[in-house]
Structure 1
Amino acid sequence: MVRGLLLMGMVLMGGGARAAENPLAAHYWKARVVVMSAPGPDDPHLMRQRALLAAVPDGVRDRDLVVLEAVGTTAEARGLRARLGLPDASFRVVLVGKDGGTKLDAAAPLPAETLFATIDAMPMRRDEMGR
């Protein structure tokens, strides 16, 4: 599940000039985005965050979450980090709302419960749950 989300995120990030200008633009008003940024693929915080999200695929799907990774020094990773103001040399996890605003930003992996509680408190999500 997470592998599929990551692949989808990579495909969307590579999709044209709009994505190059703002790699999150394709998701506005459609999905919430969790961005995991790490200096390399073996970063222990990155591996932990992946595992936390992989353990709750239904919660990820129910909340319209797309998971993107900014790992290493690829152009895509640099562009995503630049857009969110993230450092290159350390782990960060960021929750971006459907409106494109940063809702959470942490230097350590976030438990799914924290992500979900933050999302479930958002007015747009409460409206979604009410329908």
Structure 2
Amino acid sequence: MKWFNGVIDWRPVLALIVFWFGSVIAEEQGVNSLSDFQWCNRLILVEEANDPDQRVEALRQHAAGIDDRDIVWFVLGNQGIQSNLEEPGRDLQRDVRKTLRAQPENVSVVLIGKDGGIKQRSRVLDVAGIFALIDTMPMRQREMR
């Protein structure tokens, strides 16, 4: 066993363990802003004041494709925000509202990539079209390999 200590440098192993525990603790604490999803998830933000349930149902019908593409979605309506997250916190809801309200007047759907950049702005929710766009992105191409 003495030879084993000389072969392995334990510092990187220890750093990896600390990083892993830190990510587990951060995950348990939840997310507070849209930037917390960066490099982990793509985001679909939908503003639908009149009939948000129709948009939510359209997204739920595509649950398998949404899961496969690491998408988290938020639908903002008059009664609050619905999401495929269990319970988006108050700070996260505020960030979703702020991002949607910052868009041009005719935009009600925003696609944000894993890099945190806005990839598409649209008037209508076209889930199949969003999937097609995501599937052309280099990061998604690597994920599919």
TM-score (norm 2): 0.61
Unaligned runs of 5+ in 2: 1-28, 81-89
Partner of 1:56: 62
Q: Which amino acid in the other structure matches residue 61 of structure 1?
A: D
1:94 aligns with 2:123: no
Kept in 2, the 8 Å contact 1:38–1:91? The answer is no
1:127 aligns with 2:142: yes
Cα gap change, 1:91/1:38 in structure 2, threshold over 3 Å: closer, same or farther?
farther
Unaligned runs of 5+ in 1: 1-10
Structure 2 distance, partners of 1:51, 1:83, is 22
- Could you tell me how far 1:78 is from its partner in structure 2? 4.8
Structure 2 distance, partners of 1:117, 1:36, is 18
**Tell me, what secondary structure is at the counterpart of 2:46?**
strand
Kept in 2, the 8 Å contact 1:70–1:78? The answer is no
Larger Rg: 2
Q: Aligned residues: percent identity?
A: 30
Kept in 2, the 8 Å contact 1:29–1:98? The answer is yes
TM-score (norm 1): 0.67
Greater relative contact order (CA < 8 Å, ≥ 6 in sequence) = 1
1:13-24 alignment, distance < 5 Å? 15=31, 19=32, 23-24=33-34
Partner of 2:119: 103
* Deviation readout 1:12-64 (Å, 9 max, x if unpaired): 5xx5xxx3xxx21110000001111233xxx23x3332222111211010000
Kept in 1, the 8 Å contact 2:48–2:77? The answer is yes
Partner of 2:130: 115
1:68 aligns with 2:78: no
Kept in 2, the 8 Å contact 1:119–1:125? The answer is yes
Structure 1 distance, partners of 2:67, 2:41, is 10
Kept in 1, the 8 Å contact 2:46–2:110? The answer is yes
